[in-house]
Amino acid sequence: MDEIRNKVKNLRRDFANVELSEASCPDDPIVLFRDWLHQAIESEIKDANAFTISTYANGEVDSRVVLIRDIYEEGLQFFTNYGSNKGKELAEHHQAAVNFFWADLDRQLRIKVKVEKLNKVESDEYFMSRPRESRIGAWASKQSARLESRAHLEAEVERLTKEFEGKEVHRPDFWGGYLAKPYYYEFWQGRPSRLHDRIAYELKDGKWQKSRLYP
């Protein structure tokens, strides 16, 4: 116990000297977002498309990791079970916080978003691109509900595999995508001696306003 406490206390590293300047930040933050995501994927960082999304409902904040599946002018897409905890929380509160951490690049990207459901066609399209086993898995999982045992889940997968034999595994209504629309970004680039670069973008009257924040 004391060993881990000491280790945590003393674990530190300095960050590389890659700069993020106001001049290098484009007017539209989605351009920089795409650049950073692209560089993270190209660097072959594990799970470069994973981000934490925090939601709020009933006086509590909750967070978990999901995968970004598309990025375009309006925002970013991710997919999940609409009946999961996050699904219920997003139904109650459309605002959420997104956080990408790319440790190997000394980068963090924080985004505040408003979340809406994708239309059925978009959700169908992505669902059908998933491997058949994952599609059956989506049918089998009442994501976030209490599960009696692992065996119960496996039996359900087996039952559904038989039920879908020779048939297409279409998307269940309780599963689909969300579009997360950013209204605030903060790009964080780690720098030596904790003097990090932080460039924020705020959407004001339909225009992005850029500013630098103290580290």
Ligand X SMILES: Cc1cc2nc3c(=O)[nH]c(=O)nc-3n(C[C@H](O)[C@H](O)[C@H](O)COP(=O)(O)O)c2cc1C
CB of 83 to ligand X, least distance (A): 9
CB of 81 to ligand X, least distance (A): 6
- Of the pair 95, 144, the CB lying nearest ligand X is at 144
User: Residue 107 catalytic?
Assistant: no
> Largest alpha-carbon pair distance within the chain?
61
Identity of residue 94: H
- Of the pair 99, 143, the CB lying nearest ligand X is at 143
Say which residue the tokens 């939601």 belong to. Answer: 55
Chain contacts with ligand X (rule: CB under 6 A): 47, 50, 62, 64-67, 78-81, 84-86, 143-144
Helices (H), 130-194: 132-140, 150-163
- Spatial CA neighbour of 191 closest among 23, 17, 13: 17
Say which residue the tokens 């995968």 belong to. Answer: 67
- Does residue 56 sit in helix, strand or coil? strand
CB of 46 to ligand X, least distance (A): 9
- Of the pair 62, 202, the CB lying nearest ligand X is at 62
Instruction: Characterize the bridge pairing of strands 175-189 and 75-81.
Output: antiparallel
Q: Which residues are the active-site residues?
A: 194
